[in-house]
């Protein structure tokens, strides 16, 4: 029996599996296995709200109803020449591979780095939430004023004194000029102090030391800067971009019988842009890669990846949110109205569970349903 192996149980992996199961239907002899050590799909866009339990969806409730196996193991080796991966010390052969092993925050090598907190994983968020729970009103330094740093800083602002540190000369350097005034006024409204043009050089249990020599009292220092694709991408002989992502074609094929989706894949989005490492792209990429892996094996037509137009929804804690459309991020909504959109998105990224019909239907709709 032919075998599709999907490495990773995040958005891309789960939706690859469901889409492959949809193509298989009832008749075809096709085995589909998701390999990941995790028991849960982690809804990473919820993690900044510091409720890690609400960010977990048991994988068995999405995979089992649609007849997808789950091998609970970490992949340590990919051998494309022999079409096999090594997981938990055991070789697993594949006819098609979908690499969907995602991304991880890169931790800096600075004195005290082991004291840094993060919201990159459910475990990281649980550790931060547990630390804050014991503190009452706290002081926090958040390093990096990109998307994640802004969301964490504004979330923490209601509960403590927050300093946001950014190496660039502006907040949200990658978000562009359009949403910046809305972000700046939210930070001011929430009392978040901003230190621009400086980085972090060391951390101890009472303070953060900045690159200009300044010292900021901090019960917690949260690191948010720099995300890279899973190191497994290096085991596939193909071109990679500066984030370590594999170059893929419109069908999300890397080459031969290997596909890639989500944060490990540098696919073309629209308007000549590459996808971003976001679930807005990871979900539809997963659906296309899984569909194509199964269609390729069954001799059916393959489909192109063509994502919905790019949108952003940045959470700004008690100051609401800001939603934008397009790559130049034209503001659509701010404040309470934008917050309602954010809350809706955080609900919509939760996949249907337990019901095969709903899961397979959702796997067949392009996009995230998040618009
Ligand atoms: C705090 C935060 C906020 C975010 N907010 C947003 C947002 O508002 N909007 C948005 O669109 N995106 C947001 N993102 C980004 C989004 O979460 C990611 O783009 C998305 O999770 C990528 O999905 P993925 O399936 O490619 O990878 P991941 O979610 O990283 O999942 C990868 C999976 O692969 C598994 N894996 C890794 N290595 C191995 C291995 N060796 N063997 C087996 N399995 C392995 C992992 O355990 C995991 O199950 C946010 C991310 C964070 C951290």
Report the pLDDT averaged over residues 34-54: 96
Please name the residue whose Cα sits nearest to atom 3 of ligand 1.
45
Given this model, what pLDDT does residue 369 score? 40
CA distance 136 to 152: 18
Candidates 6, 17, 87; CA nearest to 287 is 17
> Does the C-beta of 360 come closer than 6 Å to ligand 1?
no
Given this model, what pLDDT does residue 346 score? 96
Q: Are the CB atoms for 123 and 34 separated by under 8 Å?
A: no
Write out pLDDT tens, residues 310-343.
999 999 999 999 999 999 999 999 999 999 999 9
CA of 350 to the centre of ligand 1 (A): 13
CA of 318 to the centre of ligand 1 (A): 25
Q: Is the dihedral of CA 43, 248, 323, 176 positive or negative?
A: positive
CA of 236 to the centre of ligand 1 (A): 20
For residue 232, the ligand 1 atom closest to its alpha carbon is 41
> Does the C-beta of 252 come closer than 6 Å to ligand 1?
no
Write out pLDDT tens, residues 201-212.
999 989 999 999
Write out pLDDT tens, residues 247-300.
999 999 999 999 999 999 999 998 789 999 999 999 999 999 999 999 999 999
Given this model, what pLDDT does residue 371 score? 31
Q: Which residues touch 218 (CB under 8 Å, ≥6 apart)?
A: 139, 140, 141, 163, 203, 206, 207, 208
Given this model, what pLDDT does residue 368 score? 47
Over the range 245-262, which residues count as b (16 or more CB within 10 Å of their CB) and which as e?
bbbbeebbbbeebbbbbb
Write out pLDDT tens, residues 149-183.
999 999 999 899 999 999 999 999 999 999 999 99
Given this model, what pLDDT does residue 367 score? 57
Q: Which of 10, 50, 84, 228 to mutate to test the pocket of ligand 1 (most atoms within 8 A of CB)?
A: 10
Report the pLDDT averaged over residues 42-51: 96
For residue 286, the ligand 1 atom closest to its alpha carbon is 25
Asked whether residue 359 carries a pLDDT value surpassing 70, the answer given is yes
Please name the residue whose Cα sits nearest to atom 49 of ligand 1.
9
Report the pLDDT averaged over residues 118-142: 96
Report the pLDDT averaged over residues 118-129: 97
CA distance 14 to 282: 10
Report the pLDDT averaged over residues 218-242: 97
For residue 101, the ligand 1 atom closest to its alpha carbon is 34
Given this model, what pLDDT does residue 125 score? 97
Report the 10 Å Cβ neighbour count for 26.
5
CA distance 57 to 234: 29
Q: Which of 15, 34, 40, 44 to mutate to test the pocket of ligand 1 (most atoms within 8 A of CB)?
A: 44
Asked whether residue 11 carries a pLDDT value surpassing 70, the answer given is yes
Q: What's the pLDDT band for 28 if we cut at 50, 70, 90?
A: confident
pLDDT mean across residues, the chain:
96
Please name the residue whose Cα sits nearest to atom 18 of ligand 1.
278
Q: Are the CB atoms for 243 and 237 separated by under 8 Å?
A: no
First to last CA, the chain: 39
Angle between helices 279-298 and 11-24 (to 10 degrees): 30
Please name the residue whose Cα sits nearest to atom 2 of ligand 1.
45
Report the pLDDT averaged over residues 185-207: 97
Candidates 165, 114, 107; CA nearest to 140 is 165
> Does the C-beta of 38 come closer than 6 Å to ligand 1?
yes
Q: What percent of the chain has pLDDT over 90?
A: 95
> Does the C-beta of 244 come closer than 6 Å to ligand 1?
no
CA of 271 to the centre of ligand 1 (A): 24
> Does the C-beta of 148 come closer than 6 Å to ligand 1?
yes
CA distance 369 to 358: 14
CA distance 357 to 208: 51
Candidates 24, 41, 42, 95; CA nearest to 364 is 24
CA angle 234, 235, 237 (to 5 degrees): 85
Domains of the chain: 2-104+227-308 (3.50.50.60), 107-223 (3.50.50.60)
Q: What is the 3-state secondary structure (H, E, C) of the chain?
A: CEEEEEECCCHHHHHHHHHHHHHHCCCCCEEEEEECCCCEEECHHHHHHCCHHHHEEECHHHHHHHCCEEECCCEEEEECCCCEEEECCEEEECCEEEECCCEEECCCCCCCHHHCECCCCHHHHHHHHHHHHCCCCEEEEEECCCHHHHHHHHHHHCCEEEEEEECCCCCCHHHCCCCHHHHHHHHHHHCCEEEECCCEEEECCCEEEECCCCEEECCEEEECCCEEECHHHHHCCCCECCCCCEECCCCCEEECCEEECHHHEECECCCCCECCCCHHHHHHHHHHHHHHHHHHHHCCCCCCCCCCCCEEEEECHHHCEEEEECCCCEEEEEHHHHHHHHHHHHHHCCCCCCCHHHHHHHHHCCCCCCC
> Does the C-beta of 9 come closer than 6 Å to ligand 1?
yes
CA of 212 to the centre of ligand 1 (A): 33
For residue 315, the ligand 1 atom closest to its alpha carbon is 8
Given this model, what pLDDT does residue 270 score? 85
């Amino acid at each position: 029996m032919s075998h599709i192996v999907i490495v990773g149980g995040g958005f891309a992996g789960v939706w690859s599996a469901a889409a492959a199961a949809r193509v298989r239907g009832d008749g075809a002899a096709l085995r589909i296995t998701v390999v990941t050590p995790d028991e849960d799909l982690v809804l990473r866009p919820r993690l900044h709200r510091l409720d890690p339990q609400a960010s977990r969806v048991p994988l068995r409730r999405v995979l089992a109803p649609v007849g997808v196996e789950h091998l609970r193991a970490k992949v340590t080796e990919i051998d494309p020449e022999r079409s096999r991966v090594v997981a938990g010390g055991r070789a697993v052969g594949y006819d098609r591979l979908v690499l969907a092993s995602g991304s991880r925050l890169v931790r800096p090598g600075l004195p005290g780095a082991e004291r840094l907190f993060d919201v990159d994983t459910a475990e990281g968020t649980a550790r931060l939430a547990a630390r804050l729970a014991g503190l009452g009103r706290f002081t926090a330094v958040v390093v990096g004023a990109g998307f994640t740093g802004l969301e964490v800083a504004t979330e923490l602002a209601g509960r403590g004194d927050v300093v946001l540190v950014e190496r660039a000369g502006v907040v949200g350097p990658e978000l562009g000029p359009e949403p910046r005034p809305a972000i700046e006024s939210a930070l001011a409204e929430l009392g978040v102090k901003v230190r621009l043009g400086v980085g972090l050089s060391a951390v101890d249990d009472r303070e953060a030391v900045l690159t200009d020599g300044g010292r900021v009292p901090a019960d917690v220092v949260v690191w948010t800067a720099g995300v890279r694709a899973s190191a497994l991408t290096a085991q596939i002989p193909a071109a990679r971009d500066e984030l370590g992502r594999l170059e893929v074609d419109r069908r999300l094929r890397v080459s031969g019988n290997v596909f890639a989706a989500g944060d490990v894949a540098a696919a073309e989005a629209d308007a000549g842009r590459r996808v971003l490492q976001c679930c807005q792209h990871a979900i539809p990429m997963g659906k296309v890669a899984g569909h194509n892996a199964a269609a390729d094996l069954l001799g059916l037509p393959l489909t192109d990846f063509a994502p919905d137009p790019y949108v952003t929804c940045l959470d700004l804690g008690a100051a609401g949110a800001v939603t934008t459309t397009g790559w130049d991020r034209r503001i659509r909504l701010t404040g309470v109205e934008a917050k309602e959109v954010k809350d809706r998105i955080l609900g919509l990224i939760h996949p249907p569970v337990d019901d095969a019909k709903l899961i397979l239907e959702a796997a067949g709709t392009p996009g995230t349903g998040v618009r």
